[in-house]
């Protein structure tokens, strides 16, 4: 096969082409190659248009034989290169097998990769969880996880912490809460633990009701839950403070009333020391001097020589609003009753009372409450 110029239109064309793509004239089997100059021309020409050589019949036959051989080479495959159908089937089957194997291993790799990524994601999500059930579920879902040892370690730590926290909540003592914080400083329950300690400290400070207790709370909890209440309570305590002169007057009234006035059981003296009207005496509303006399005389039996009272120091004093909305004073102390007997092995006996008294602005008794303090018997 070779490229020539079409004898008709002059455009390039293959000698093996059936027709010329430009002019459509027949090419293959319709050409003669001049034996003198090699030019291709149509068989319809009587002689070579280039050198005017006229081919003999023998030369034309040779040219036809050459073209036939070229066409045969073009349209056939050499015998040595032909493949039988069996080989084609085997090659096809091998190709299919390779594709199936590659697909299987690819699927296995993708499945395993996806599983490991999900396993890693679930493990990372555990970092913010404190419920042991999530860790148990992870171990159930990924029994052969590469993170199994770490998850089991965390699960054990959380289980121990959960049990310790449950025990703390049962008692809710400051000692237990402080111990929990020491043992588990990074626990997610630390914040709640601190809040409980804050509440306990404030309840204790409020119950004591002293400036010292409130200051201690504010010192230990400068940003505590009850800081605002503590500051306000401290202001109230400041407002309740009494002056030196008021303290001296209250001390004198309390000592005189218990050590002098009620011992004499003088009705007029007792009435003079009471406000008008008096709110209560040991729970009795609208009490009078007679109620106080009755209380003192109850301890005087035939064998009693004397009944005396003494005020134990110190007397806790504060300013306070009274029932009629006027400003008065509160005095709290311990009053000791000493009874002296005329005869018998026991010469004297004592009773202690927790005394709470309210005095008006004129230092008259508005309320007196005496609660006997029982000694603990071992």
Q: Is the pTM of this model over 0.85?
A: no
In a domain, 16, yes or no: yes
Q: What is the pLDDT of residue 64?
A: 56
In a domain, 357, yes or no: yes
Domain end: 75, 96, 116, which one? 75
As a dihedral over the C-alpha atoms of residue 362, residue 365, residue 367, residue 369, rounded to 10 degrees, the angle is: 140
Q: Which two tokens stand for residue 376?
A: 């603990």
Q: What is the pLDDT of residue 68?
A: 54
Residue 303's Cβ-side half-sphere holds a number of Cα atoms within 13 Å equal to: 8
CA distances from 349 to 295, 297, 376 (A): 17, 16, 16
Tokens 């003079």 -> residue: 272
Does residue 367 share a domain with residue 306?
Answer: yes
Give the residue among 138, 141, 133 at the shortest CA–CA distance from 162: 133
Does residue 359 share a domain with residue 303?
Answer: yes
Q: What is the pLDDT of residue 74?
A: 52
Does residue 314 share a domain with residue 219?
Answer: no
Domains contained in the chain, number: 3
Q: Cβ distance 125 to 131 under 8 Å?
A: no
Does residue 216 share a domain with residue 295?
Answer: no
Helix (H) or strand (E) holding 358: strand 348-359
Q: Cβ distance 353 to 373 under 8 Å?
A: yes
In a domain, 127, yes or no: no
Does residue 331 share a domain with residue 291?
Answer: yes
In a domain, 92, yes or no: no
Q: What is the pLDDT of residue 330?
A: 95
Q: What is the pLDDT of residue 378?
A: 46
Pairwise CA distance, residues 330 & 369, whole Å: 11
In a domain, 263, yes or no: yes
Q: What is the pLDDT of residue 209?
A: 86
In a domain, 140, yes or no: no
Q: Which residues pair with 299 in a beta bridge?
A: none
Does residue 366 share a domain with residue 309?
Answer: yes
Does residue 252 share a domain with residue 211?
Answer: no
Does residue 320 share a domain with residue 231?
Answer: no
Q: Which two tokens stand for residue 297?
A: 């005389």
| Other residues' Cβ atoms within 10 Å of the Cβ of residue 13 | 23
Does residue 359 share a domain with residue 252?
Answer: yes
Q: What is the pLDDT of residue 228?
A: 94
Q: What is the pLDDT of residue 277?
A: 85
| Other residues' Cβ atoms within 10 Å of the Cβ of residue 51 | 11
What domain range is 196 assigned to?
A: 174-240
Does residue 306 share a domain with residue 262?
Answer: yes
* Per-residue confidence in pLDDT tens, the chain, 378 aa: 577 888 888 888 787 777 888 887 887 778 787 878 878 777 788 788 878 778 776 555 555 545 555 555 555 545 555 556 788 888 888 888 888 888 888 888 888 888 889 989 988 888 878 788 888 899 999 998 998 999 999 888 888 888 898 999 998 899 999 999 999 888 888 999 999 999 999 999 999 988 899 999 999 999 999 999 999 999 988 888 999 999 999 999 999 999 999 988 889 999 999 998 899 999 999 999 999 999 998 888 888 889 999 998 799 999 999 988 999 999 999 999 999 998 877 789 999 999 999 999 999 999 999 999 886 544
Q: What is the pLDDT of residue 295?
A: 92
Does residue 266 share a domain with residue 221?
Answer: no
Which CATH number is 287's domain given?
3.10.450.50
């Amino acid at each position: 096969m070779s490229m020539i110029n079409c004898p008709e239109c002059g455009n390039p064309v293959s000698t093996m082409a059936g027709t010329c793509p430009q002019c459509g004239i027949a090419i293959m089997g319709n050409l003669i190659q001049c034996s003198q100059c090699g030019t291709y021309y149509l068989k319809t020409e009587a002689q070579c248009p280039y050198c005017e050589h006229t081919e003999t019949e023998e030369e034309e036959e040779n040219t036809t034989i050459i073209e036939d051989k070229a066409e045969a080479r073009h349209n056939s495959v050499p015998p040595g290169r032909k493949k039988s159908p069996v080989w084609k089937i085997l090659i096809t089957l091998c190709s299919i097998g390779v594709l199936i194997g590659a697909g299987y291993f690819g699927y296995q790799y993708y499945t395993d990769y996806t599983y490991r990524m999900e396993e890693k994601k679930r493990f990372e999500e555990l970092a913010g969880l404190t419920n042991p059930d999530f860790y148990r579920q992870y171990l159930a879902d990924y029994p052969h996880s590469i993170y199994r040892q770490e998850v089991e370690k965390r699960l054990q730590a959380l289980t121990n912490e959960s049990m310790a926290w449950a025990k703390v909540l049962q008692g809710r003592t400051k000692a237990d809460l402080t111990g929990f914080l020491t043992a588990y400083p990074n626990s997610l329950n630390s914040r709640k633990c601190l809040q409980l300690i804050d509440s306990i400290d404030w309840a204790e400070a409020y119950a004591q009701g002293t400036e010292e207790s409130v200051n201690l709370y504010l010192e230990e909890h400068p940003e505590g839950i009850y800081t605002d209440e503590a500051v306000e309570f401290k202001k109230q305590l400041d407002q309740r403070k009494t002056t030196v002169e008021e303290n001296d007057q209250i001390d004198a009234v309390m000592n005189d009333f218990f050590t002098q006035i009620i011992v004499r059981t003088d009705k007029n003296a007792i009435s003079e020391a009471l406000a008008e009207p008096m709110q209560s005496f040991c729970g009795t509303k609208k009490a009078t001097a007679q109620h106080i006399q009755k209380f003192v005389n109850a301890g005087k039996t035939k064998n009693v020589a004397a009944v005396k009272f003494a005020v134990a120091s110190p007397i806790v004093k504060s300013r306070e609003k009274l029932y009629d909305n006027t400003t008065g004073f509160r005095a709290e102390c311990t009053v000791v009753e000493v009874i002296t007997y005329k005869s018998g092995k026991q010469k004297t006996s004592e009773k202690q009372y927790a005394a709470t008294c309210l005095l008006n602005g004129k230092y008259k008794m508005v309320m007196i409450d005496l609660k006997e303090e029982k000694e603990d018997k071992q």
